Chain A
């Protein structure tokens, strides 16, 4: 016999880290039945100008859930309303709407992963590729008192970038942070990583 009334999903929330946004909810459980879900969204424009309009999520209409990657649906830095309902065959639950609209400017930005290497006397960094929305500020300096800190902006992660030609026998340190233009925010700096150059300082 059909479920009397399909319960609506509960406990909606969004986890967002490094501009990847995931909507989660508590699963709806009906013994011996497989429940699917439909996710829809509405940006500030829709809620202001056409509040009855909801747009099916790119990847989760339907989905086996109970989570949905809404990253591709959030395409502007405005508040987005999000809602989910359960689906069992032709039966659907009521919609559950996220209590607070989600804005991508609340995403958590973590320091980027980085690989600092030396290629002969060349100081090279390879940054974690976090996607097209990310730029990177790299700071590097020679490990000695009073050394000047240099800064380089790197537009893409995932590719080795030459920072400096190093002096033999010296040590150099590097740290990096991300910047996301769409939300005008940057992460904290990573821990500094240092490398020591082989070989002795040549006497002039």
Chain B
């Protein structure tokens, strides 16, 4: 199992800086997701690993070996395309065999390995079909088999679930993660869907404006976002400007922080707020909007700030939301759960 390491990779197209000093480390056999909005550079980064994009600076290392100078056909990294890019004039078996055929492997070996690969994705009986005769989910499995049959060192997947409907997507995500664990291959996914990143990854790299803003395990990204962009992109977040004085915020419930005195931002997840009646220490406000979602109740509370604060509370059986216009107080469930960041990290 080979590590994949990306070292200070940069790329510009004319005046547009697409990637800036991207660093990434994926340990052998682990799954890393490149997550970000469209245009953040995640696909360009993936394409540079495959060699489809030539970076201006930086290196790509697989198993400690620098592959930056190799042409795409000699990199031994497999790429699964967003639209699968199956060869329409070849059968499923011929598609899967393609990489072995161009390497001129003996015919018996090709047949055996194609059988194995198709078995791996549960398509053993479909070898004779053409891609056009397969469903979207089946086509995706063919693309994965075609990539894996070569026993590559790294598997790259560009939004592989985009073309599938919601039901199938979840099944395929779980199946793919199991398959990757079984064969133990270092994998890099590109996605703009945070739930997908949570399901699939050991580590998530959140990208924004051509940079990797944070690289960490999914829960750490959620609990300890390093910028307000990350906080807002992964899950929902209330972002409030605050002042730090003597190691605490100047908020109704002071939050301890190692930050120096001065302006800062505080990030509170909606589930870390609770709505309590009456006048206690906290943010006084008025219920602006309430939705009961079954398991939770979602409030928008107007606390005299430019944007209403969002609160998500577990719903007790039989209970309903408070009426619109009720005067309430917002309290932090845990002051440790609130995140205080410098103003510099506060771009959204």
Do they bind each other? no
